[in-house]
């Protein structure tokens, strides 16, 4: 689906669901894919690219190394052997040698999760290059600008496209189409609230005509919208902190967040929203423990 003059949304159908994990194709005279979805979505993404008439990918850009964003990078790199992979410098090592990343994923999700997410393989080091905050990439008739947006993860970049849209990565909360709630994604092990809010304000002030989000699709942008997202994030984290202060662990925090979001929705939450809440509860519990005096 075309979402701006040069950008197409691809629904990766992550974990078998529609409209929960997006990646984006930027088509100039050269082409770039920003995010790749899980490895288990690799065939879906490849077929979508074929449908869009893509015969060559010049750049593969995982915004960060969480597997719903980077898991399929190695598969896409195999399909397009001339493509260069670009990522934040803190992400490069995990793309070249994903052993620590995989170990962390198994610790959080359990030993069988790669059966669902898909296998993770290394990408040859001579194909992976770092990019930094403010750096630009020319696709000849369209330009990408990389924006460092930590908080959700210390290795995260958002990508501004010169036709006016911003591919946000997880610098913004999840806002699924047709659902009234938002869920800030606050995963372990490195979530930092202060950085998350700073990154939201940073991208809110860029002047993008729209945000293109991974979870899911096009949303409003600008200062007013990001201040709304910040207020909702602060309420979300505040609810979790109250549960933590009462001596609650991850399960208690999760239940408090579940009740809050479910009250907004007015019915049981979809399984993918429940899963995100569980991971966010884990990340907030760890964050509170780190910040405790």
Q: What is the pLDDT of residue 208?
A: 98
Q: Does 228 reside within a domain? A: no
Residue in 101, 91, 99, 100 with CA at minimum distance from that of residue 128: 91
Whether 230 is in a domain gets the answer no
Q: Mean of the pLDDT values across residues 167-189?
A: 96
Q: Is the pLDDT of residue 278 over 70?
A: yes
Portion of the chain with pLDDT greater than 70, in percent: 100
Beta-bridge mates of residue 166: 160, 211
User: Is residue 246 situated within a structural domain?
Assistant: no
pLDDT at 292 over 90: no
Question: What gap in Å lies between CA 29 and CA 17, rounded to an integer?
Answer: 32
* Helical axes 250-265 vs 222-245, angle rounded to 10°: 130
pTM: 0.96
Range of the domain at 10: 2-223
Q: Are 253 and 240 in contact (CB under 8 A)?
A: yes
- The number of folded domains in the chain is 1
Q: Please state the rounded mean pLDDT for residues 148-153.
A: 98
The pLDDT tens digits for 8-48 are: 999 999 999 999 999 999 999 999 999 999 999 999 999 99
pLDDT of residue 293: 67
d(CA 253, CA 231): 19
Cβ neighbours for 161, distance < 8 A, ≥ 6 positions apart: 4, 6, 7, 26, 142, 143, 144, 167
- 134 torsion bin: left (phi>0), alpha (psi -120 to 50), beta (else): left
pLDDT at 242 over 70: yes
Distance CA 164, CA 68 (A): 25
At 66, list the tokens: 């969480």
Provide the CATH number for the domain around residue 118. Answer: 3.60.15.10
For residue 288, tell me if it sits in a domain. no
Indicate the pLDDT class of residue 83, thresholds 50, 70 and 90: very high
């Amino acid at each position: 689906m075309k979402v701006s003059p040069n950008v197409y949304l691809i629904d990766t159908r992550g974990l078998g669901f529609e409209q929960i994990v997006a990646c984006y194709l930027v088509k100039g005279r050269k082409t770039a894919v920003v995010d790749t979805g899980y490895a288990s979505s690799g065939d879906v993404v490849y077929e979508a690219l074929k449908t869009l008439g893509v015969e060559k990918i010049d750049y593969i850009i995982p915004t960060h190394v969480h597997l719903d964003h980077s898991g399929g990078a190695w598969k896409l790199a195999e399909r397009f052997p001339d493509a260069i992979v670009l990522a934040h410098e803190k992400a490069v090592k995990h793309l070249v040698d994903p052993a620590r990343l995989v170990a962390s994923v198994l610790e959080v999700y359990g030993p069988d999760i790669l059966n669902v997410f898909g296998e993770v393989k290394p990408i040859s080091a001579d194909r992976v290059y770092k990019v930094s905050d403010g750096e630009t990439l020319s696709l000849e008739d369209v330009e990408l600008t990389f924006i460092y947006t930590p908080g959700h993860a210390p290795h995260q970049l958002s990508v501004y496209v010169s036709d006016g849209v911003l591919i946000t990565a997880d610098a913004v909360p999840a806002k699924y189409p047709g659902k009234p709630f938002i869920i800030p994604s606050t995963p372990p092990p490195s979530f930092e609230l202060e950085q998350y809010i700073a990154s939201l304000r940073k991208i809110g002030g860029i002047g993008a005509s729209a945000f293109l989000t991974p979870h899911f699709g096009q949303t409003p942008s600008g200062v007013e919208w990001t201040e709304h997202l910040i207020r909702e994030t602060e309420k979300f984290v505040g609810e979790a902190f109250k549960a933590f202060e009462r001596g609650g662990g991850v399960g208690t925090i999760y239940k408090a967040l579940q009740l809050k979001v479910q009250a907004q929705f007015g019915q049981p939450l979809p399984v993918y929203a429940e899963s995100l809440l569980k991971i966010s509860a884990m990340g907030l519990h760890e964050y509170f423990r780190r910040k405790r005096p």
